Amino acid sequence: MFIGHYGIGFALKKVEPGLSLGLLIFGAIMLDILFGLFLLVGVEHAKIVPGATVVSPFEFYDYPLSHSALGAVILATSGFLAYWLWPTADRTKRKRPAFVLAAAIFSHFILDVISHTPDMTLFGNNSPGLGLSLWNSLAGTMIVELGLLFIGITLYMSATHSISSSGTYGLTLLVLMLIVFFIANIFGPPPPDIISVAVTMTIGQFALVAIAYWVDKNRIANRPGRRS
Ligand SMILES: [Zn+2]
């Protein structure tokens, strides 16, 4: 899945207004950020197979760290602990947002199971694979991805309001970029090689996270974050 993950990041701002949209989106796409980096250094592997599914020309045959259920649990737990136990912060107020961040991280696995063919393994290579193959339906992919993004943005906008023109135009820019990248991914030609995919993925995702941080700095939550 692609922009559906961003939809979850947007939506969780409603659940925990104390967390920046940038951090929530970073959590929701963390598995793909790691996958891009692991592809670059040769730790994980995928290949381009035009027509592999109706909307995605990739065969993901070796990504046990970033995209297994076990990997997702470990990453979500690490995200929880890192946020909760952050050395310079007051721990008593951070358990709830830490849990929301962990939920953002683990949500990636669930959404990818919906999209992918059964290549999302439980414990890594040679363990059972999960995948509902939504990518074999163009209409289904468009409805689910755009639907999740739309719901997420609606919740984000109801949870925050703009305090400068950047908060309004920045949000519009972010949403337009996501939709353009999504459409280009589906209807554009297959990429030339997997390394250019990894480079584009890594740079593009960090850029989108940075823009999300900037947008969130120019909006404030309508209610303060509830902490526990
Ligand atoms: Zn993924």
Domain locations along the chain:
3-221
Q: How many residues are there in the chain?
A: 228
Q: How far is the CA of 97 from the centre of ligand 1 (A)?
A: 23
Tokens at 112, concatenated: 């990818």
Q: How far is the CA of 228 from the centre of ligand 1 (A)?
A: 30
Between strands 160-162 and 45-48, the pairing is: unpaired
Give the pLDDT of residue 227. 46
Q: How far is the CA of 67 from the centre of ligand 1 (A)?
A: 7
Give the pLDDT of residue 228. 41
For the entire predicted model, the pTM comes to 0.95
- pLDDT band at residue 226 under the 50/70/90 scheme: low
Q: How far is the CA of 32 from the centre of ligand 1 (A)?
A: 5
Instruction: Give yes or no for residue 225 having a pLDDT over 70.
Output: no
Average pLDDT over residues 154-170: 97
Q: How far is the CA of 115 from the centre of ligand 1 (A)?
A: 9
Instruction: Give yes or no for residue 209 having a pLDDT over 70.
Output: yes
Q: How far is the CA of 172 from the centre of ligand 1 (A)?
A: 24
Q: How far is the CA of 77 from the centre of ligand 1 (A)?
A: 18
State the burial class of residue 198 (Cβ atoms within 10 Å of its Cβ: 0-12, 13-18, 19+): buried
Question: How far is 208 from 206, CA to CA, in rounded Å?
Answer: 5
Q: How far is the CA of 1 from the centre of ligand 1 (A)?
A: 6
Q: How far is the CA of 109 from the centre of ligand 1 (A)?
A: 7
Mean pLDDT, the chain, rounded, equals: 95
Residue in 221, 197, 228 with CA at minimum distance from that of residue 60: 197
Q: How far is the CA of 224 from the centre of ligand 1 (A)?
A: 31
Q: How far is the CA of 165 from the centre of ligand 1 (A)?
A: 33
Give the pLDDT of residue 89. 80
pLDDT in tens, 175-190: 999 999 999 999 999 8
Q: How far is the CA of 95 from the centre of ligand 1 (A)?
A: 26
Instruction: Give yes or no for residue 41 having a pLDDT over 80.
Output: yes
Q: How far is the CA of 80 from the centre of ligand 1 (A)?
A: 19
Give the pLDDT of residue 187. 93
Provide CB contacts within 8 A for 146, sequence distance 6+: 3, 179, 182
Phi, psi of 121 (to 5 degrees): -85, 165
